[in-house]
């Protein structure tokens, strides 16, 4: 690969090498998948899937994109000999018989890697039997649990739910998905991205519009937010936000929103960073896409876009903050790749989480 950057032949953005930039390559893959008819998508799935072997990286990626973008049924994958080695979210369509096979294999497991994969698979099955079994394992650990660093409850978070009372599954996601496209159209009911006039109360940098949303717009009824929601974030301080308790920075950043379009930032601790000019390029904005997607849109690794609702794709282990007022685990509200907000690209994801009852939100940052 050449060490010099050259204009992408499609979009003219500077990129390494002489071919298309990665964004254009991803967009080409996205367009090809979205152009398939329903029958063609099913046929391609059958061509790629081989239930007798673990997937290679290329097959895994193409199948995951196909399932995520077209919301295909994956029951055949769960019935395969290597079910736990396919992307864990494929287990969303498991039959009761295949769920029981996964449970049996887990309870006989003596290998940490296998136990980890099987627990992830079962978390995405997530039916009443799995919920009951997860509760039982939390109360009375089995020998295989000594192989792992965390309990079943943490695996449930990866699939967007948590354990409530006995036998109860509590959802950490909302029952709807609205993907976005690059635009700035307040008439669509929501915007993501763009610099705000307000300054961060901690470091003085310009705040970024993480999410502005009109909850009275019918397409957002699934959120149950009857008013105007406005959540700002600091591109710098958000990297140190330890609201989920995994960083050890001593910094927490909460956004209190009374659903009237106003908000208050409550910052505890002092983020240790030097502010540069990165934030000045965060001027790309996004509004709802009329194309309908299923809840797994964020699992696609092509044509990343900010997504309201749906199931988040985690770069690291799932991190959910506990509400500072009621102590309940917050719910996932929006998934925002930072490379969608910055002109020249950026690394990491913002996970916007909220406690609707207490009207408190936070923005969790992850990077690879």
Instruction: For residues 209 and 260, state if they share a domain.
Output: yes
Instruction: For residues 212 and 279, state if they share a domain.
Output: yes
Instruction: For residues 248 and 101, state if they share a domain.
Output: no
* DSSP for 319-332, written as a single string: --PBPTTT-PBPEE
Radius of gyration over alpha carbons of the chain, in Å?
Answer: 21
Contacts with 312 (C-beta within 8 Å, 6 or more apart), sequence order:
160, 173, 298, 318, 332, 335, 349, 351
Instruction: For residues 16 and 151, state if they share a domain.
Output: no
Instruction: For residues 132 and 220, state if they share a domain.
Output: no
Instruction: For residues 212 and 253, state if they share a domain.
Output: yes
Instruction: For residues 295 and 203, state if they share a domain.
Output: yes
Q: Which residues pair with 355 in a beta bridge?
A: 360
Domain containing residue 193: 177-366
Residue 40 lies in a domain: no
Region 96-115: what's the mean pLDDT? Answer: 92
Instruction: For residues 279 and 134, state if they share a domain.
Output: no
**Dihedral through CA 155, CA 156, CA 160, CA 165, nearest 10?**
-150
Is beta strand 264-268 parallel, antiparallel or unpaired with respect to 5-7? unpaired
Round to whole Å and give the CA distance between 148 and 109.
Answer: 12
Distances (CA, A) of 55 to 45, 60, 81, 141: 13, 6, 12, 31
Residue 41 lies in a domain: no
Give the pLDDT confidence of 255-314 residue by residue, as tens digits. 999 999 999 999 998 877 666 555 566 778 999 999 999 999 999 999 899 999 999 999
Instruction: For residues 66 and 122, state if they share a domain.
Output: yes
Report the range out of 42-46, 105-109, 279-283, 334-338 with the highest average pLDDT.
Answer: 334-338
Instruction: For residues 227 and 349, state if they share a domain.
Output: yes
Region 145-172: what's the mean pLDDT? Answer: 94
Round to whole Å and give the CA distance between 51 and 30.
Answer: 25
The residue assigned the tokens 């908000």 is 263
Sign for the CA dihedral angle at 243, 244, 245, 247 comes to negative
Q: And the tokens for 209?
A: 């519009």
Round to whole Å and give the CA distance between 345 and 22.
Answer: 11
Are the C-beta atoms of residues 88 and 124 closer than 8 Å to each other? Answer: yes
Q: Where are the beta strands (DSSP E) in the chain?
A: 5-7, 14-16, 161-163, 169-171, 177-182, 190-191, 195-199, 206-214, 228-233, 252-256, 264-268, 286-288, 307-309, 331-337, 349-355, 360-366
Instruction: For residues 20 and 157, state if they share a domain.
Output: no
Q: Which of 119, 151, 171 is the last residue of a domain?
A: 171
Give the 3-state secondary structure of residue 155.
helix
Give the pLDDT confidence of 9-68 residue by residue, as tens digits. 888 777 777 788 878 888 899 999 999 999 999 999 988 887 767 777 778 889 999 999
Whole-number pLDDT of residue 3 = 63
């Amino acid at each position: 690969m050449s060490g010099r950057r050259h204009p992408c032949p499609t979009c003219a953005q500077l990129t390494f090498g002489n071919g298309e930039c990665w964004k254009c390559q991803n967009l080409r893959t996205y367009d090809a998948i979205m152009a398939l008819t329903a029958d063609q998508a099913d046929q391609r799935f059958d061509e790629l899937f081989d239930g007798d072997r673990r997937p290679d990286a290329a097959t895994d990626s193409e199948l995951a994109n196909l399932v995520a973008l077209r919301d295909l049924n994956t029951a055949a994958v769960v019935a395969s000999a290597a079910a736990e080695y396919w992307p864990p979210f494929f287990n969303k369509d498991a039959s009761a018989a295949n769920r029981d096979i996964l449970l049996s294999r887990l309870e006989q497991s003596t290998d940490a890697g296998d136990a980890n994969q099987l627990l992830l698979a079962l978390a995405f099955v997530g039916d009443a039997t799995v919920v009951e079994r997860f509760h039982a394992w939390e109360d009375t650990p089995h020998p295989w649990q000594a192989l792992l660093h965390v309990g079943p409850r943490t695996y449930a978070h990866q699939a967007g739910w948590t354990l409530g009372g006995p036998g109860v599954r509590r959802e950490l996601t909302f029952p709807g998905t609205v993907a976005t496209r690059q635009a700035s159209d307040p008439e669509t009911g929501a915007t993501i991205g763009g610099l705000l006039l307000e300054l961060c109360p901690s470091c003085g940098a310009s705040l970024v519009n993480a999410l502005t949303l009109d909850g009275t717009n019918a397409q957002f009824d699934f959120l149950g937010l009857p008013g105007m929601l406005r959540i700002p974030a600091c591109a710098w301080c958000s990297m140190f936000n330890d609201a989920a308790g995994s960083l050890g920075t001593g910094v927490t950043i909460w956004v209190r929103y009374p659903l009237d379009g106003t908000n208050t930032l409550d910052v505890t601790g002092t983020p240790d960073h030097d502010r540069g000019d990165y934030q000045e390029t965060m001027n790309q904005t996004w509004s709802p896409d009329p194309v309908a997607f299923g809840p797994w849109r964020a699992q696609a690794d092509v044509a990343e876009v900010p997504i309201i609702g749906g199931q988040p794709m985690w770069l690291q282990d799932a991190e959910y903050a506990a509400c500072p007022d009621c102590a309940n685990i917050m719910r996932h509200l929006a998934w925002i790749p930072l490379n969608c907000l910055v002109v020249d690209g950026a690394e990491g994801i913002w996970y916007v989480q909220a406690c609707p009852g207490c009207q408190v939100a936070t923005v969790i940052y992850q990077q690879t």
